[in-house]
Amino acid sequence: MSFNHPLIEFDKPVFFPGEEVTGKVSMNVEKDQTARKVEISFTGKTVTAWSPDGKVEKVKRSGAFEKSQEKFLEMKHEVWQPEDEANTFPAGEYEWNFSFELPKQCPPSFEGCYGHIRYSVFVSVDVPKWLDNEAEKAVTVSPSIDLNTIAGAQNDVEFKAEKEMEACGCMPIFNFAPFRRGTVTFTYTTPTLGFVSGADIPLSGIVHNSTNKAIEGLTAKLLQRVIYRQDLSTLNAIKVKNDIDFNAKTVNLQLADSYESVEIPVGDSKPFNFTLQIPPTVATIRSEQFLSVEYFVAVTAEFDSKWCASATADMNILIGNVPFSDPERDGLTSHHFEKGAAAECWTSHMSDEFRPQFPYYGTVKTVEPQ
């Protein structure tokens, strides 16, 4: 066949709810071909997918192992039809403009290893008795998640938790008495519940060691926790209702960390202060049925390395993409868009690599999740 793959171009890289998603599709046909139609569609959908052995590579390009799909937006335009009964598609250069209106309420673009929330334009040339000529290109949609409008987001947060000392997987015997004894009490605060990408999270508190081993270090981490869910509506619910691994995949990504070497003897307490900078990342997602994104700040107390043991407490925080108003400043705080992680799941028709973009209020360039 002499069809070149359609080329999709957007007028800009980021669109907002209520806007028109605009761009063009161009294609070169080297000699007369046959086709029944050319259709351009725009979709917004949430997809989750994973293989039984959990390997991401198997779901990257194949479109296989789907666990759920929610298509919350779909629009189609037929931009070409044949002018004769032979379905002749004449040779030449073709260009079609497209425009699709986004609803005023829609979720943000997100890409993860076992799923995504993706907005994309899909072009299909319907070729008789042959494989259709297809291309897909995704674009970022960035709704406003304004911290000023979220109740409690500006309040300071105090967190207290008592955690037992636990051994890592390489030394499970240390999780049994007499090797593991006592608890660690974490008390820490943040000045607000809500933050935006690029902001610093000041974390201060006290650790009290009630175990029978000295603490030798403290680590603070910013974690992203993504839960990908299975659609159970078409399955035997009795069979899978208690199988957590079958129903969902949970992925924890470390976005930032800071370590301090300390000596906290048995029965003693010591204060700590950490600062964690938030890299470009999607805002908290809680409203989607099959995919959620939460953020946590965690503090880990680490014991003598020969015991291979630690204790961790984590606190849930909120990430938006519009910061708190500054009474001394008019308008929004200066920001720009930074690229996040590349699409990993279901990329079979993607015409090039897609990395969604997020509002970023810092000056440091993109930091890749660890």
Calpha distance 334→313 (Å, rounded): 34
Burial of 335 (0-12, 13-18, 19+ CB in 10 A): middle
Return the pLDDT at 42: 98
User: Over 60: is that where the pLDDT of 259 sits?
Assistant: yes
Among the residue ranges 40-44, 86-90, 105-109, 117-121, the one predicted with the least confidence is 86-90
Question: β-strand 166-167 against 133-141: which pairing, if any?
Answer: unpaired
Question: Is it the case that residue 6 has pLDDT exceeding 60?
Answer: yes
Structure tokens at 192: 């607000």
pLDDT given for residue 347 in this prediction: 83
pLDDT tens for each residue of 102-111:
999 999 999 9
Query: Which among 104, 123, 111, 135 has a CA at the least distance from the CA of 20?
Result: 104
**Per the structure block, which two tokens stand in for 310?**
């630690």
Tens of pLDDT, residues 183-222: 999 999 999 999 999 999 999 999 999 998 999 999 999 9
* Helical segments of the chain, H only: 57-60, 237-240, 244-247
Q: Which amino acid is at 98?
A: F
Dist. CA 219–CA 301, nearest whole Å: 7
- Between vectors from CA 199 to CA 106 and to CA 205, what angle results, nearest 5°? 115
Beta strands in 248-350 (DSSP E): 248-264, 269-277, 291-303, 309-320, 336-339
Whether the CB-CB separation of 188 and 255 falls below 8 Å is answered with: no
Confidence of residue 24 (pLDDT cuts 50, 70, 90): very high
The radius of gyration computed from the CA coordinates of the chain, to the nearest angstrom, equals: 25
Per-residue pLDDT of 293-314, as tens digits, reads 999 999 999 997 665 789 999 9
Domains, the chain, in order of start with CATH, read 7-144+338-358 (2.60.40.640), 147-321 (2.60.40.640)
Q: Name every residue whose Cβ is closer than 8 Å to that of residue 340 and which is 6 or more positions away in sequence.
A: 111, 280, 281, 282, 355, 356, 357, 358, 366
Identify the weakest region by mean pLDDT among 69-78, 114-123, 164-173: 164-173
**What pLDDT is stored for residue 51 in this prediction?**
85
C-alpha atoms less than 13 angstroms from C-alpha of 30 in its C-beta half-sphere: 5
Amino acid 326 reads D
pLDDT of amino acid 168: 61
pLDDT of residue 246: 61
Task: Reply yes or no on whether the pLDDT at 330 is more than 70.
Answer: no
Residue 174 has pLDDT above 60, yes or no: no
Tell me the pLDDT of the chain averaged across its residues: 88
Lowest mean pLDDT among 25-39, 237-251, 300-314, 347-361: 237-251
Question: How confident is the model over 221-240, as a mean pLDDT?
Answer: 79
Tell me the mean pLDDT in the region 45-60: 82
Residue-level pLDDT at 370: 43
Tell me how far apart the alpha carbons of residues 181 and 210 are, in angstroms, rounded to a whole number: 9
Torsion of CA 349, 352, 354, 360, to 10 degrees: -160
Q: Give me the pLDDT at residue 369, please.
A: 45
Question: Which pLDDT value is given to residue 367?
Answer: 46
Dist CA 47 CA 304 (whole Å):
44
Alpha helices in 121-171 (DSSP H): none
Please compute the mean of the pLDDT values over residues 274-286 and round it to a whole number.
97
**Which has the higher per-residue pLDDT, 358 or 175?**
358
pLDDT tops 70 at residue 169: no
Helix-strand-coil percent breakdown of the chain, rounded to 5? Answer: 5, 50, 40
The tokens for 12 are 């800009």
C-alpha to C-alpha distance for 370 and 362, rounded to whole angstroms: 19
